[in-house]
Structure 1
Amino acid sequence: MSTENSNLKYVDAGLQGPASELKVSPAELRRTSVSSFLGSALEYMDFTLYTLAAALVFGPLFFPNTDPAMALLASFAAFGSGFLVRPLGGVYFGYLGDKYGRKSVLVITVGMMGIATLGMGLLPTFAQIGVMAPILLVLLRLIQGFGAGAELSGASLLLVESAPSNKRGFYGAVVALGTATGVLLASGLWLLLSQMPKDEFLAWGWRLPFLLSVGTTLVALYLRRSVSESPVFEAVKARRAAARLEAKQQSVWRDVADSKKAFLVSLGIKLGENGSVYLVKGFLIGWTVSVVKMDPNLVTTGVTLGSVLGVLTVLLTGKLTDRFGRRKVWLWLSGFQFAFTIPAMLMIETRNPVLVALVFVVYVGGPLPNLYGVESTWLVEMFGSKRRFSFMTTVKEIGAVLSGGLGPIIAASVVAATGPGWIPVAGILMAYAAIGLAAGFFAPETRGRDLNAEADAF
């Protein structure tokens, strides 16, 4: 459905004007922005802490007595376990979000993620409690993954549905700003603490970032409880009640069939963005340290500097999508992501500290946060209002399993089976980038679309 055709009004609910233009006060929009920012920062702080720990700490602490390549594989297998339940969390919380609203879901999800991350910081190691240590690690990862299944989707929905239509790209990028900030906080803390003597860092220093995340959780919970519900959701709920559409709302399978085009294209977009995020910030860090034998502090420094660059660029990218459109900016970024892969691997192979650090600066400061900045708004606009939360979370979490969950495991398995060569790793990175490029080519432009429209953007 084109932008020109999606001009539905709230006439039957007594509400005039398109959903995207319902009035939200500047103060309320600021509260919603800060709340969404903190929630996404918490999720990606959790994610970055876990991936850094999986790459650098969890192997010897929770999976000892194995060679480095197998310990890395075991660490990322535990990491990938969280992705098994993310689609379940996405479907469950997406249903609740479409039925009861975005706000209540976001309060629950940020609490679950915060509790799981705190638990990881308190978790005994294999040396202390034996096999129960990796079991509990996986259990906490499952809790974290179930809550994360709707966190970023819900934050994007609440913010984009509250923003003026001509600034949705900018406000949608606030969620991506939160993810970049979470990466920056986690990698900066990790870099600082890793300067400790190695024995002390392995004994207790690695725990501190996990424990400190409780502060972000409490602030995010407070703000989430105080924000207003999405005006789009409130208007849709009023219209449904007025038209007595409750019986029609049960035809979920018909809605799924009608949304298959939007679902498949959105899934490709998610694979292109998410695959590189988890491969670079997860697997590539561990591969560079354990296989290429580079200093962990060097890699963490690159991630930290890249995170600073990402924080500085992601809102600009959002503004560019408001000016030039989501599709065009996505294709620019995806093309760069694809083209940079082989040069990046060759730079790592030089083992030159500056070039190796620069790879992570470019990835973490360029395509990774900015692709998500585009996606954060684009996928909200891709689906109609009827089941937007459910379909968006399902797309994101299935995509997360196929890219973020499986990608690092596939890459680690290939390295364990074939040896330390970089070509298979580059092939996996380029494959995910190519999927994103193809999806962006077939996707519609959604800038300015009326978010009240129940039909998808196709």
Structure 2
Amino acid sequence: MTEQHVTADDSERTPPPLDHQAHRRTQRRRALVSSMLGNVVEYYDFAIYSTAASLVFGKVFFPTSDSVTGTVNTFGTLAVGYLARPLGGVLFGHLGDRIGRKIALLITLVAMAGATLLIGLLPGYARIGLWAPILLIVLRLIQGLAVGGEWGGAVIMSVEHAGARRRGLMGSLTQSGGSLALLLSFGAFSLLDGLDERTFLSWGWRLPFLVTIVMLGIGLYLRLKVEESPVLEAACDGGERTVKPRTPLWDAVRDRPRALLLGIGLGLGPFAAYSVLTTFALSYASGQLGLPRQLTITALMISSGGLALGIPLFAALSDRIGRRPIYRVAILLMMVNAFVVFQLIQTRQAAAIIIGFVISVSVLHAATIGLLPAILPELFPTRYRYTAVSVAYQLTSAVSGGLTPLFAALLTGPGGPGIIAVSVMMAALCAVSAGCALALRETRDVDLVNA
């Protein structure tokens, strides 16, 4: 291993000159801030669609006298975005591994913001008929492609710029950007709660989509100031890879199939629980339980704020005691909680509902999903890390995060087995993740350059 390789991953072991140390600290801060805020922009855009899908789109783009059919159609378009995410992971992962992380991340940011702005300007079914849902699906597809390439690149930039002893924390702060985005999303719609139903459906819901233009400008400014990943540059300069991979996805499937499967499995349970609670639970609470819309939004805002704090706390702890013990305990508790949380929602008591969301999101979700930004990059070598991490994360997001709200709506519709079946579905996916956690080796001490 050359000296350059060592300093690329862990400057604490072989200190470089002071001026180089100062430069690296500056770039480390820029990488962290740009990745975190870029993730806020991307996931805010993705999250406001999920919120609007629960509250608005069934009436604006899929008008029907059958509310259940409208809900299923709406969650179907929601699933389109999730299903596009693995393809986005392959596309932008390929670009990131071959031409660099920075360029790929700039493209994802512009694509996401552009699609979100157009959704905010899109006429409804009453004005353009079937073109409204068709164009909505196309724009949602673009959103899915963009966010599919965003997460992997953002966490890799943070982790590859970090020292070896702080990878969990640095990666988790990027992940926290996603929870802050969800908080901003619910906050934006909460500010519109004073509007009457007609005004909200006419133009009020569009405002959270249109403010994306401001966030786009901030995100681009920050990302243009960040240099390429030092781990990638070290690998390109004669270490792990002297030739850029022609087919990063095939290399990952051929060389690390077990790591890919474990990476996919680790996210199934957390994504299922989170997606059901942040999308399906909104329509379930207001439509079937008759609860005010603001109550569930408030519960999600509080729990999302707790999530933004919980993710770095559990990740920092994983830097000290390891990733496996924290994840294993949390995923087992999440299996049990799948049955508890809906019992709390069905009490129709505000305090019980908020407690249920805080336990589910701020604690258990934080302790599982918050470790993946470190675990996944530590499973794969530099030459196809962007592709492998993106595909693993986004594939589980598509399968678990995208389809579970749709299945939950079907299970609780007329003739369905009811809410207990939703809990069984969530627990079963958590059980798969628990099995993967048992098979996972500890990754905390992996050298990223020679992973």
TM-score (norm 1): 0.92
Deviation at 1:384, TM superposition (A): 1.6
1:339 is aligned to: 336
1:383 pairs with 2:373: no
1:21 pairs with 2:10: yes
Contact 2:272 2:400 in 1 (8 A): yes
2:308 is aligned to: 311
Contact 1:10 1:239 in 2 (8 A): no
CA distance, structure 1, for counterparts of residue 441 and residue 84 of structure 2: 30
Q: Which secondary structure does the structure 1 equivalent of 2:421 belong to?
A: helix
2:394 is aligned to: 397
Q: What whole-Å deviation, never above 9, does each CA across 1:189-222 have from its counterpart, x for those lacking one?
A: 1112122222211111111111112222211111
CA distance, structure 2, for counterparts of residue 255 and residue 87 of structure 1: 14
1:352 is aligned to: 349
Deviation at 1:333, TM superposition (A): 1.9
Deviation at 1:159, TM superposition (A): 0.5
Task: Tell me how many residue pairs correspond in the alignment.
Answer: 441
Q: What whole-Å deviation, never above 9, does each CA across 1:88-130 have from its counterpart, x for those lacking one?
A: 2111111111111111100000111111111111111111211
CA distance, structure 1, for counterparts of residue 393 and residue 25 of structure 2: 29
TM alignment of 1:148-187, pairs within 5 A: 148-187=147-186
Structure 1 residues 128 and 317 mapped into 2: Cα distance closer, same or farther (>3 Å)? same
Contact 1:179 1:369 in 2 (8 A): no
Deviation at 1:28, TM superposition (A): 1.3
Structure 1 residues 420 and 215 mapped into 2: Cα distance closer, same or farther (>3 Å)? farther
Q: What whole-Å deviation, never above 9, does each CA across 1:318-354 have from its counterpart, x for those lacking one?
A: 2111111111111122122222121211111222233
Deviation at 1:255, TM superposition (A): 4.5
Q: Which secondary structure does the structure 2 equivalent of 1:112 belong to?
A: helix
2:423 is aligned to: 426
Contact 1:269 1:439 in 2 (8 A): yes
Q: Equivalent pairs: percent with the same residue?
A: 34
1:266 is aligned to: 263
Q: What whole-Å deviation, never above 9, does each CA across 1:352-399 have from its counterpart, x for those lacking one?
A: 233223322332322234422211111011112221111111112221
Structure 1 residues 387 and 195 mapped into 2: Cα distance closer, same or farther (>3 Å)? same
Deviation at 1:311, TM superposition (A): 2.0
CA distance, structure 2, for counterparts of residue 304 and residue 181 of structure 1: 9
Structure 1 residues 364 and 46 mapped into 2: Cα distance closer, same or farther (>3 Å)? farther
2:192 is aligned to: 193
Deviation at 1:426, TM superposition (A): 0.7
TM alignment of 1:119-134, pairs within 5 A: 119-134=118-133
Contact 1:317 1:374 in 2 (8 A): yes
The one-letter code sitting in structure 2 at the alignment partner of 1:154 is G
TM alignment of 1:53-452, pairs within 5 A: 53-239=52-238, 245=243, 253=250, 255-419=252-416, 421-452=418-449
CA distance, structure 2, for counterparts of residue 250 and residue 126 of structure 1: 42
Q: Which secondary structure does the structure 1 equivalent of 2:161 belong to?
A: coil
CA distance, structure 1, for counterparts of residue 166 and residue 53 of structure 2: 38
TM-score (norm 2): 0.93
Structure 1 residues 251 and 221 mapped into 2: Cα distance closer, same or farther (>3 Å)? closer
CA distance, structure 1, for counterparts of residue 166 and residue 246 of structure 2: 31
Deviation >6 Å, runs of 4+: none
2:16 is aligned to: none
Contact 1:10 1:18 in 2 (8 A): no
Q: Which secondary structure does the structure 1 equivalent of 2:371 belong to?
A: helix
Q: Can you give the 5+ residue segments of structure 2 that lack an aligned partner in the other structure? A: 12-20
Q: Aligned match of 1:10 in 2, 20, 25?
A: 2
CA distance, structure 1, for counterparts of residue 299 and residue 263 of structure 2: 30
Contact 1:18 1:451 in 2 (8 A): no
The one-letter code sitting in structure 2 at the alignment partner of 1:432 is L
Deviation at 1:415, TM superposition (A): 2.0
Q: Which secondary structure does the structure 2 equivalent of 1:55 belong to?
A: helix
Contact 1:265 1:443 in 2 (8 A): yes
CA distance, structure 2, for counterparts of residue 441 and residue 368 of structure 1: 18
CA distance, structure 2, for counterparts of residue 420 and residue 127 of structure 1: 35
CA distance, structure 2, for counterparts of residue 340 and residue 38 of structure 1: 31
Contact 1:10 1:19 in 2 (8 A): no
Q: Which secondary structure does the structure 1 equivalent of 2:442 belong to?
A: coil
The one-letter code sitting in structure 1 at the alignment partner of 2:9 is S
Deviation at 1:249, TM superposition (A): 5.7
286-295 vs 102-111, which deviates more? 286-295
The one-letter code sitting in structure 1 at the alignment partner of 2:276 is L
The one-letter code sitting in structure 2 at the alignment partner of 1:376 is P
CA distance, structure 2, for counterparts of residue 252 and residue 88 of structure 1: 11
Deviation at 1:403, TM superposition (A): 0.7
Q: What whole-Å deviation, never above 9, does each CA across 1:146-176 have from its counterpart, x for those lacking one?
A: 1111101100001001001001111011112
Q: Which secondary structure does the structure 2 equivalent of 1:418 belong to?
A: coil
CA distance, structure 2, for counterparts of residue 254 and residue 118 of structure 1: 37
Structure 1 residues 46 and 253 mapped into 2: Cα distance closer, same or farther (>3 Å)? closer
Contact 2:248 2:387 in 1 (8 A): no
Q: What whole-Å deviation, never above 9, does each CA across 1:222-261 have from its counterpart, x for those lacking one?
A: 11111011101001111169x7546x86696454222111
CA distance, structure 1, for counterparts of residue 205 and residue 231 of structure 2: 43
CA distance, structure 2, for counterparts of residue 218 and residue 251 of structure 1: 31
68-77 vs 401-410, which deviates more? 401-410
The one-letter code sitting in structure 1 at the alignment partner of 2:446 is R
2:46 is aligned to: 47
Q: Can you give the 5+ residue segments of structure 1 that lack an aligned partner in the other structure? A: 1-8
The one-letter code sitting in structure 2 at the alignment partner of 1:368 is H
63-72 vs 102-111, which deviates more? 63-72
Structure 1 residues 381 and 342 mapped into 2: Cα distance closer, same or farther (>3 Å)? same
The one-letter code sitting in structure 1 at the alignment partner of 2:294 is N
Q: What whole-Å deviation, never above 9, does each CA across 1:49-104 have from its counterpart, x for those lacking one?
A: 11111111111111112312111110010111122322221111111111111111
The one-letter code sitting in structure 2 at the alignment partner of 1:41 is V
Contact 2:303 2:354 in 1 (8 A): no
Contact 1:54 1:75 in 2 (8 A): yes
95-104 vs 287-296, which deviates more? 287-296
CA distance, structure 2, for counterparts of residue 60 and residue 376 of structure 1: 37
The one-letter code sitting in structure 2 at the alignment partner of 1:215 is V
The one-letter code sitting in structure 2 at the alignment partner of 1:148 is V
Structure 1 residues 251 and 434 mapped into 2: Cα distance closer, same or farther (>3 Å)? closer
